[in-house]
Amino acid sequence: MYANLWIKRSEKLHDDTDINALTTKELNRRIQFFFDQRQSLFDSGDQDWFHGGLEHTLRLDKKRKQDWLQTLMSRQKSTKKARAQLTTQMKPIQFYFRPETAEDADAED
């Protein structure tokens, strides 16, 4: 029982769902989600995947929807990894702008 709960939890966290096992309704729901969240989930370089529009993407056949979703899921993982790496390279604001001290204020007078 605990193993099954752990597997379900991992699927929710990492979403390693087999795209080929999803129904058309579930594929459409995921496509809608990606369209709704595209600004926050993907960087500007990935926005061209949405150029056809939601209606066009929903009219694709099941195989092409699966391929589209698989690609976007891979891009989402890459985006998360790139954003995490960028965050670790960022320096605090004090690195770029030295805090003003009392001596600096006296020098301006």
Task: Answer whether residue 13 shows pLDDT above 60.
Answer: no
- Please compute the mean of the pLDDT values over residues 35-62 and round it to a whole number: 88
Q: For residue 90, what pLDDT is reported?
A: 77
CA 79 to chain centre: 6
Report the largest interatomic distance among the alpha carbons of the chain, rounded to a whole angstrom: 73
Q: For residue 107, what pLDDT is reported?
A: 65
More confident residue, 105 or 69: 69
Q: For residue 59, what pLDDT is reported?
A: 94
Residue with tokens 């001290």: 101
Best CA proximity match to 47, nearest among 58, 39, 37? 39
CA distances (Å), 25 to each of 49, 77, 80, 108, in order? 20, 23, 27, 67
More confident residue, 104 or 82: 82
